[in-house]
A = this chain, B = another copy of it.
Amino acid sequence: MARTQGSHSDITGPKVRDTALRLFAQHGYAAVSMRQIAREVGVQVGALYNYTPDKQALLFSLLKGHMDELLSTWEAEPRPDGPRDRLEAFVRFHIRFNLDRPQAIFISYMELRNLAPENFAVIEAQRKVYEGALEAILRDGQSEGVFSVPDTRLASYALIAMLTGVNTWYRAGGRLSIEEVADIYWDMVRKSVSAD
């Protein structure tokens, strides 16, 4: 049946989020106006406020949705036995997950400072949970004698930064597939913690 003319909440809603994500990633939250989002969605500015109370809530919703997905996807991953295989699983998961959603990753790193303090606290706590998973793997491996890491905290920071950096240069259709990239990074990570 035909809908009431002008009623498109199931189309416009996602479109607002997709457009905002794309524009925030491209130009930055502060540089993107609600007018611009509306224009690219194909509605008038006022209509946006049916989908978000304000611009800040839109940013927070995008980041929160992304972090929720990151944590739940990671927790649903198979959990191999032993720190060595778990580290490899983390490396491959992180690269794959990040390269699959470059825009969300980008704003998750770039737009943290544009979150209101209470929103920032929520995202920051989720980030710590995720990074804590890596540090736990390193700690286990260290105490089991499978890894040799001078400082597990620093090592987790170093490895996260290294892995996340893939997004700054990787372009789909380049000379390497995601799997090949993951192989190369895993080789460096493995050696850096003296595994195997």
Chain A residues with a Cβ under 8 A of chain B: 26-28, 30-31, 110, 113-114, 149-151, 154-155, 157-162, 164-166, 168-169, 176, 181, 183-185, 187-189, 191-194
Contact of A185 with B158 at beta-carbon distance under 8 Å, contacts A30-B30, A30-B31, A191-B194 already known: yes
| 10 closest A-B pairs by CB | A161-B165, A30-B30, A162-B162, A192-B192, A30-B31, A188-B192, A150-B184, A158-B162, A191-B192, A191-B191
How many copies of the polypeptide does the oligomer hold? 2
In the bound assembly, the distance between CA atoms of A190 and B192 in angstroms comes to: 7
Q: Which interface residue of A160, A168, A192 has the most chain B CB atoms within 10 A?
A: A192
A128 CB to nearest B CB, Å: 12
Give the distance to chain B from A27, nearest Cβ to Cβ, in Å: 7
The interface centre, meaning the residue of A151, A162, A185, A194 with most chain B CB atoms within 10 A of its CB, is A162
Bound-complex Cα distance A184 to B113 (A): 29
Instruction: Kindly state the separation between the CA atoms of A30 and B110 in the bound complex, as whole angstroms.
Output: 13
* Cross-interface CB contact of A160 among B164, B165, B181, B192, cutoff 8 Å: B165
- Measured in the bound complex, the distance between the Cα atoms of B30 and A27 in whole Å is 9
Q: How far does the Cβ of A89 sit from chain B's closest Cβ, in whole Å?
A: 19
A154:B184 contact, CB within 8 angstroms: yes
Nearest-neighbour CB distance to chain B for A11, whole angstroms, equals 29
Q: How far is the CA of A84 from the CA of B186 in the complex (A)?
A: 22
Task: Report chain B residues within 8 Å CB of A149.
Answer: 188
- A114 and B184 contacting across the interface, CB-CB below 8 Å: no
Instruction: Taking A154-B184, A158-B162 as given, write out 15 further A-B residue pairs in contact, using a Cβ cutoff of 8 Å, ordered by the A residue number.
Output: A28-B28, A31-B114, A110-B110, A151-B176, A154-B176, A155-B184, A155-B188, A157-B165, A160-B165, A161-B164, A161-B165, A165-B165, A188-B192, A188-B193, A192-B192
